[in-house]
Homo-oligomer: A and B are copies of this chain.
């Protein structure tokens, strides 16, 4: 069994209050006693038990991490970053999965409160707003969603993506999103459109409406595909490769988030990475401030970084433009 304050006190013939004082640096204790106590604490490997402390101080040293879908492939990096940042600040992390269900999300929050979580870091379900929480909370969503505390600059990421392709000479882009309701994806697409030069055309596809035939799109004139997620970029990439379309020679492909596989495929996937350590550190930092009674810190927007890999390259100099393509291009530039 773990040693208690009482055990140390008994062995040293002092009171538990003195031990506590030494450990916390408060109160008045002689140097000699301080030394003796420290030594004994080390010797027995004493660590204050969380239950007693939490009960007395109301601080459990734990916060909750509520996610809409742990199985999202982006989550590992995120959870790891949060856990690391939390551990650095001396906090433990309690996880919960809301399965994208607002009711489950609420339930998870209640359970965390019951477990004594001091605060929570929450990535809200798509479409739900988090507010009036009975607990200090840090919300990680997108810059455009109200209540957001920290997030990547998805809009700038979108701009970076389009700019990158435009500089490579691409003039016909296909943008692929999953769901219109996702504010993150909307921000990214919005950024892409904002960076679009007037002589560049972009078509948008939402996968919730059905999957496009990527090879056909390329044959119809698209030279680059940007997906709002590496997962969908990967789908596009493998579809193209399977159909005999060379990447990046005939078409470039880009994604978002730099998933674990993105660097491991051939060609490597050019993507816009979120700075997870930075976001997590900021989230934990903000939470710590809130717990110390500070006012809600201003929302923080963390830049995204372009990870240049092999899936993007110069736009092909089409040797045989079809009449169809010419007509389309005429539409745009007119």
A interface with B by C-beta (< 8 Å)? 2, 47-52, 54-55, 60-62, 69-73, 75-77, 79-80, 83-84, 87, 92-97, 110-116, 134, 231-232, 234-235, 237-239, 241-242, 244, 246-247, 259-261, 264-267
Contact = CB atoms under 8 A, between A and B. Distances in A.
B93 A94 contact: yes
A235 B264 contact: yes
A75 B73 contact: no
- Copy number in this complex? 2
B71 A60 contact: no
A242 B266 contact: yes
- Could you say which of A72, A92, A112, A234 has the most chain B C-beta atoms within 10 Å of its C-beta? A92
Contact of A92 (B47, B49, B111): B111
Contact of A261 (B71, B73, B239): B73
A87 B83 contact: no
A234 B260 contact: no
Contacts of A232: 264
B55 A83 contact: no
A190 to B, nearest CB: 25
B114 A71 contact: no
6 contacts: A47-B110, A61-B115, A231-B264, A234-B261, A234-B264, A242-B267
Given A55-B51, A238-B238, A266-B238, A72 B62 contact: no
Given A47-B110, A70-B80, A93-B94, 4 more contacts: A75-B76, A84-B97, A93-B95, A235-B266
A104 to B, nearest CB: 9
Nearest to A112: B92
Contacts of A112: 92
